[in-house]
Amino acid sequence: VLKRLLNQRVQQLNTSSNIKILEKRALSNNASIYLVEIDNKTILIGESMNNLSLLANFPEGLSEVSDEPEPQT
């Protein structure tokens, strides 16, 4: 059920949902990872042909982190 939900959410715009697929990366033909935001909490989910796994929980506000590199001293 969660696998089907993830596939549907990736195709939507995520504008009015509490579940947002921030990014999806294919690792192979049978494996992908998803960066997902649920109620301001960000998680990383791994998907394989027969399994879904929670890979990591991130602190709140992760999706607001800039892509700019940190200044070096």
Whole-angstrom Cα distance, residue 19 to residue 67? 22
| Per-residue pLDDT at 10 | 61
Question: pLDDT of 26-70, one tens digit each?
Answer: 999 999 999 999 888 999 999 999 999 999 998 776 555 445 555
- Residue tagged 């992908």 (tokens): 32
Q: What is the pTM of this model?
A: 0.63
Element (DSSP H or E) covering residue 28: strand 19-28
DSSP element (H, E) containing 4: helix 2-11
